[in-house]
């Protein structure tokens, strides 16, 4: 039987191998995600009816198609002009989503719907102060480009970036409610330490994190 780590690694590693051989890969080792499903799922009201936070996760990995759909629902491109599934501050693109998995950290690139390798190691335990984050298959980390929020003071940068993250977080909640996945949006994060772990450049900062996985039965 595969361990959780092997299962998750297998999904991403095989995708990376496929991406490495495909034309147009921009960063070596990038994962070209399958086209996201943009229809189906539970009706909105049915998803709202079951939306909730989950803090106990099963070892079952998240499949590649589901990961693709999840990231698209979170903050993917939903219009020809490049705009997104979540609203964002002043039409300035401030938020990046990092995906922390057993086999490393990936930056989601919405324009190309790819995962770009960021760190080759498992930092899940560092994405929060609660025990379940270390073993859940996926922790999303919402990172803000403060340096792009030029004409407002730093405390307002955190406020507006947090609102952007909150909208993305609710998209993730609703997608998970629709798909039978569990999730929890998290502020219990040592954001300064996590920023160092992620090697974020000056100006960028961690807002919140969000765990995703199948709920433990």
Ligand X SMILES: Cc1cc2nc3c(=O)[nH]c(=O)nc-3n(C[C@H](O)[C@H](O)[C@H](O)COP(=O)(O)O)c2cc1C
Contacts with ligand X, residue ranges (CB under 6 A): 52-53, 55, 130, 184-188
Q: How far is the CB of 169 from ligand X (least distance, A)?
A: 7
Query: Looking at beta carbons only, is 78 or 130 nearer to ligand X?
Result: 130
Please give the Cα distance from 147 to 160 (Å, whole number): 13
| Radius of gyration for the alpha carbons in the chain, expressed in angstroms and rounded | 16
Please give the Cα distance from 184 to 52 (Å, whole number): 8
**Cβ-closest position to ligand X:** 188
Query: Looking at beta carbons only, is 47 or 77 nearer to ligand X?
Result: 47
The answer to whether the CB of 191 falls within 8 A of the CB of 30 is: no
Query: Looking at beta carbons only, is 2 or 48 nearer to ligand X?
Result: 48
| 101 φ, ψ (degrees, to nearest 5) | -125, 180
Q: How far is the CB of 88 from ligand X (least distance, A)?
A: 17
Q: How far is the CB of 17 from ligand X (least distance, A)?
A: 36
Query: Looking at beta carbons only, is 3 or 53 nearer to ligand X?
Result: 53
Q: How far is the CB of 18 from ligand X (least distance, A)?
A: 35
Q: What is the number of other CB atoms lying within 10 angstroms of the CB of residue 28?
A: 10
Helix (H) or strand (E) holding 32: strand 31-32
């Amino acid at each position: 039987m595969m361990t959780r780590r092997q299962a998750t690694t297998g999904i991403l590693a095989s995708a990376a191998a496929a991406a490495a051989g495909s034309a147009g890969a921009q960063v070596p080792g990038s994962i070209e995600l399958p086209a996201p499903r943009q229809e189906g799922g539970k009706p909105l009201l049915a998803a709202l009816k079951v939306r909730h936070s989950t803090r106990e996760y099963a070892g079952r990995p998240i499949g590649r198609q589901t990961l693709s759909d999840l990231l698209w629902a979170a903050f993917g491109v939903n219009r020809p002009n490049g705009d997104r599934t979540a609203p964002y501050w002043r039409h300035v693109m401030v938020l990046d989503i990092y995906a922390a998995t057993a086999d490393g950290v990936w930056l989601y690139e919405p324009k190309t719907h790819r995962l770009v390798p960021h760190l080759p190691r498992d930092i899940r335990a560092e994405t929060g102060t609660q025990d379940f984050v270390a073993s859940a298959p996926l922790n999303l980390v919402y990172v803000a480009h403060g340096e792009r929020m030029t004409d407002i003071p730093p405390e307002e940068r955190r406020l507006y970036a947090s609102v952007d993250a909150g909208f993305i977080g609710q998209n993730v909640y609703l997608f998970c409610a629709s798909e039978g996945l569990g999730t929890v949006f998290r502020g219990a994060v040592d954001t300064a330490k996590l920023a160092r772990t992620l090697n974020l450049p000056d100006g960028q900062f961690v807002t919140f994190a969000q765990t995703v996985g199948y709920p433990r039965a």
